[in-house]
Structure 1
Amino acid sequence: MPYFEGSDGARLFYKDWGSGPAVVFSHGWPLSSDAWDVELKLLADNGFRAIAHDRRGHGRSEQTWAGNDMDTYAADLSALVDGLGLSEVVVVGHSTGGGEAVRYAVRHGAGKVRKVVTAGAVPPVMVQSDKNPDGTPLSAFDGIRDSVLGDRSQYWKDLAVPFYGFNRDGAAVSQGLIDDFWRQGMNAGLASAYDCVKAFSETDFTEDLKALDVPILIAHGDDDQIVPIHDSAAKTAELVKYGTLRVYPGASHGIHGEYQQQFDRDLLDFLRS
């Protein structure tokens, strides 16, 4: 299996499929690059080089004690791009990975990144504060941390239900998706999964979004129960210079089903434009 050295020498796993213009994917919490497999194959089949890594502490990557923060995540992504000698890349990020992609593009990607795509992404900032009164209260994230510490195996099973919108009336529940969410979650290290809650909820990307100087496709489901659209994509679209907001009616946080089919078509169109 291929590995690269992260920004501090951590041993991190990645996938590299196909050939052509490079598209680099960052996954959500608590998942791994496996969450992007459908998109990786789709792009590789359509003339792109599709690359995705397991964030430190997730999947097959080293479970580091330090560096479980957004600045290090972005630096790790930079190490991957530079290590592979990539240029003119498109970075794609879901949820936590959307924040990682935006921070990477602004802090490390000048002259290397030509486009950004986010889906269900956490920017500008999730946690409630005086500056962000519409955000999610800190107590909710404290509850997530308590669940991760208390019984993360059961928590991943429980979290998968709203993640994919399976708690909605008439939803076609996939036990396979729930099981796969659990599988990927259980491959995340405890310390890394715990620390990542602070990274995805408290990191403020407002200035990153204002500084972003390349086109960005901002994809989001309007029934996202994990990262509510009104406090994320809607605000992101107002902060960036060259943004396109694509709202998917009834879509959940997890990319699956009809939402995935629509998103994948939009992704290919955006890459080719």
Structure 2
Amino acid sequence: MGKYIEVELGVKLYVEDLGQGEPVVFLHGWPASSRMFEYQSMLLPQKGLRFIGIDFRGFGKSDGPWENYSYDRMADDVRAVVDKLGLERFTLVGFSMGGAIAVRYMNLHNEHGVSRLILAGAAAPRFTRAEDFPYGAPVKGVDTMINDTHKDRPAMIEAFGKQFVGKQPSKPFAQWLSTICLESTAHATVRAMESLRDEDLRGDLPAITVPVTVLHGVQDKICPLELAEKTLELVPQAELIRFEESGHAMLFDEPDKFNETLLALLQ
């Protein structure tokens, strides 16, 4: 069932909370919402697990304040939801931007309540290239996406969606994914992308002590496989599971493998 949880004065996040058993908290990618995990929201409760999907501020059904879309603020929002739900031992699953925020949560909140971390196509250690980090997306490319959002957000999302999956999606699927992304506010879309462009997690990753599994598509054009490899250098205990036939969204490109892997990790 869906519920709203206040994370700061006047700002409520939408949270989908289904099933009973061990909690599994899902953090979505940019610029989608927890609806991108709808297949997992049906599967996990059938397997005796509790699915919890959080819509970040400004995305999905959550409130969209004008400011505060930093990794710190969104990690604080996750902590507020965790505390409100009384979660003590849960698996945290972060996809793309959600993976970046999961990493910041682990450091900023001392891994509060997390027993296992799963990073899927995560935008870590950082999303964009820097002088000392020649991996990831070029900053100019991100700036172009931000400018395109100001000019024609639906067209930007359609173009982004074509990179999102490695296999050619059906037209209904592409429309479904675009609809989810268009539910986000325009300003959150821009401000969260600015955070993706500017923030760095190289100082956060070494602080992680819980078991970590990194899931990554070999053909990922948004967060290239090199990012996963660099994450493993900073988190020595992490395990990498490669999705050979997947682009960025392995949960759509190889759904059976993704779900089987997820369930195996949760046993």
* TM-score bin (small chain): over 0.9
1:166-181 aligned within 5 A? 171-181=167-177
Q: Does the C-alpha gap of structure 1 residues 12 and 111 become closer, same or farther in structure 2, counting only changes over 3 Å?
A: closer
C-alpha deviation, 1:7, in angstroms: 4.0
Q: Which residue of 1 aligns with 2:213?
A: 217
SS state at 1:155 partner: helix
CA deviation map 1:163-206 (0-9, x unaligned): 112xxxxx443112210121011111111000111222321111
Check conservation: 2:243, 2:250, Cα contact below 8 A: no
Q: Say which of 171, 174, 178 aligns to 1:182.
A: 178
Q: Which residue of 1 aligns with 2:243?
A: 248
Q: Which residue of 2 aligns with 1:92?
A: 93
Q: What is the CA–CA distance in structure 2 between the aligned matches of 1:137 and 1:234, rounded to whole Å?
A: 18
Q: Does the C-alpha gap of structure 1 residues 111 and 137 become closer, same or farther in structure 2, counting only changes over 3 Å?
A: closer
SS state at 2:32 partner: coil
C-alpha deviation, 1:27, in angstroms: 0.2
Check conservation: 2:88, 2:113, Cα contact below 8 A: yes
SS state at 2:115 partner: strand
SS state at 2:5 partner: strand
Gaps of 5+ in 2: none
Q: What is the CA–CA distance in structure 2 between the aligned matches of 1:172 and 1:111, rounded to whole Å?
A: 39
Check conservation: 2:245, 2:253, Cα contact below 8 A: no
1:1-273 aligned within 5 A? 1-165=2-166, 171-230=167-226, 232-257=227-252, 259-272=254-267
CA deviation map 1:82-102 (0-9, x unaligned): 000011111001000001111
Check conservation: 1:4, 1:11, Cα contact below 8 A: yes
Q: What is the CA–CA distance in structure 1 between the aligned matches of 2:23 and 2:169, rounded to whole Å?
A: 34
**Greater Cα shift, 100-109 or 36-45:** 100-109
Q: What is the CA–CA distance in structure 2 between the aligned matches of 1:46 and 1:18, rounded to whole Å?
A: 9
| Count of aligned pairs | 266
Q: Which residue of 2 aligns with 1:168?
A: none
Q: What is the CA–CA distance in structure 2 between the aligned matches of 1:247 and 1:124, rounded to whole Å?
A: 17
SS state at 2:204 partner: helix
SS state at 2:203 partner: helix
Q: What is the CA–CA distance in structure 2 between the aligned matches of 1:229 and 1:8, rounded to whole Å?
A: 39
Normalising by structure 2, we get a TM-score of 0.95
SS state at 2:250 partner: coil
Q: What is the CA–CA distance in structure 2 between the aligned matches of 1:258 and 1:61, rounded to whole Å?
A: 27
Q: What is the CA–CA distance in structure 2 between the aligned matches of 1:207 and 1:247, rounded to whole Å?
A: 25
C-alpha deviation, 1:241, in angstroms: 3.4
Percent identical across equivalent pairs?
A: 31
Query: Structure 1: which 4+ aligned runs deviate by more than 6 Å?
Result: none
Check conservation: 2:19, 2:48, Cα contact below 8 A: yes
Q: Does the C-alpha gap of structure 1 residues 214 and 252 become closer, same or farther in structure 2, counting only changes over 3 Å?
A: same
Q: What is the CA–CA distance in structure 1 between the aligned matches of 2:172 and 2:196, rounded to whole Å?
A: 26
Q: What is the CA–CA distance in structure 2 between the aligned matches of 1:29 and 1:83, rounded to whole Å?
A: 24
Q: Does the C-alpha gap of structure 1 residues 8 and 108 become closer, same or farther in structure 2, counting only changes over 3 Å?
A: farther
Q: What is the CA–CA distance in structure 2 between the aligned matches of 1:9 and 1:21, rounded to whole Å?
A: 30
Check conservation: 2:19, 2:50, Cα contact below 8 A: yes
C-alpha deviation, 1:159, in angstroms: 1.4
Q: Which amino acid aligns with 2:266?
A: L
CA deviation map 1:49-99 (0-9, x unaligned): 110111100011111111111111100000000000011111001000001
- RMSD between superposed Cα atoms in Å: 1.4
Q: What is the CA–CA distance in structure 1 between the aligned matches of 2:112 and 2:95, rounded to whole Å?
A: 23
